[in-house]
Amino acid sequence: MEHQAEIGVFGGSGFYNFIEDAVEVKVETPYGSPSATITIGTVGGKRVAFMPRHGRDHSLPPHKINYRANVWAFKALGIKRVICPCAAGSLQKHIKPGEFVFCDQYVDRTNGREDTFFDGPITTHVSAADPYSEELRKLAVQAAKECDIPYHDKGTIVVIQGPRFSTRSESKWFRDQGWEVINMTQYPEAHLVKEMEMDPLNISLITDYDTGVEGAPPVSHVEVIEVFTENNVKLRRLLFKLIELMPSADKAPEFANILDSSRHG
């Protein structure tokens, strides 16, 4: 492929519309069309690809995103590391709106989503024990410290089907398990990234408290939008610092060979 990158970011235009050398790339995949064309530019001396997972006009709800096409397109560009920022709700009072959580685990509560590249005839079992890259999570923590962004260095994100939010009973169930964050897009995105032998990193941007978090004040729609906007500004700073801190990735293996080389079990 003519255009290549080493880092991928599932994020919107606010992260790349200021990059002077940006080019747009359309990638066709065996799984249909990705959410949008991919914008590639240089950040911190590295080639970085950006794709808005919900589409350019945010027209794709979480359960309708073509996660396999999105991840396949990143792999086809030679990407080795994928940053997966997402808006999220807090399940715990001590995790406040405006803070970031670098999750190290997820719990899948989705249903019916296409969540593997290995549909047969060969059965392949890819471990999900540690779904996110420990190396990237540590670099993200360092970047947050240098950018003076309030953060939590780990946590579990519960991924619900959407587009509806949780009932009070569901939210209490998740909270009582001790889980920290709730979102609608991290599964199967993160696992598909692993299946394609790329390293995923979660950055959860807390916009509000989930339904019925005990002792948490009620949040208005206006307040959520305000926090969401502030989070995106902080995220842009964090991404620049994080990408700067990342060591250059080794050259990716030839994409045509990736499925054969990763099969086992």
Q: Is residue 1 part of a domain?
A: no
pLDDT category of residue 257 using cuts at 50, 70 and 90: very low
- pLDDT (tens digit per residue) in 92-118: 999 999 999 999 999 999 999 999 999
Q: Is residue 188 part of a domain?
A: yes
Pairwise CA distance, residues 171 & 210, whole Å: 7
Instruction: Specify the pLDDT at position 18.
Output: 62
pLDDT category of residue 218 using cuts at 50, 70 and 90: low
For residue 125, count other CB atoms closer than 10 A to its CB: 9
Q: Is residue 103 part of a domain?
A: yes
Q: Could you give the number of structural domains in the chain? A: 1
Instruction: Specify the pLDDT at position 21.
Output: 86
Q: Is residue 2 part of a domain?
A: no
Q: Is residue 235 part of a domain?
A: yes
Does residue 253 surpass a pLDDT of 50?
no
- pLDDT (tens digit per residue) in 121-170: 878 899 999 999 999 999 999 999 999 999 999 999 999 999 999 999 99
CATH code for the domain in which residue 103 is found: 3.40.50.1580
**Catalytic positions, written as ranges:** 208, 210
C-beta separation of 4 from 77 below 8 A: yes
Residues in the chain: 265
Question: Could you tell me what percent of the chain has a pLDDT over 70?
Answer: 89
The amino acid at residue 123 is T
End-to-end CA distance of the chain: 31
In the numeric block, which tokens belong to residue 243? Answer: 């990408």
Residue 27 lies in domain = 7-262
- pLDDT (tens digit per residue) in 60-82: 999 999 999 999 999 999 999 99
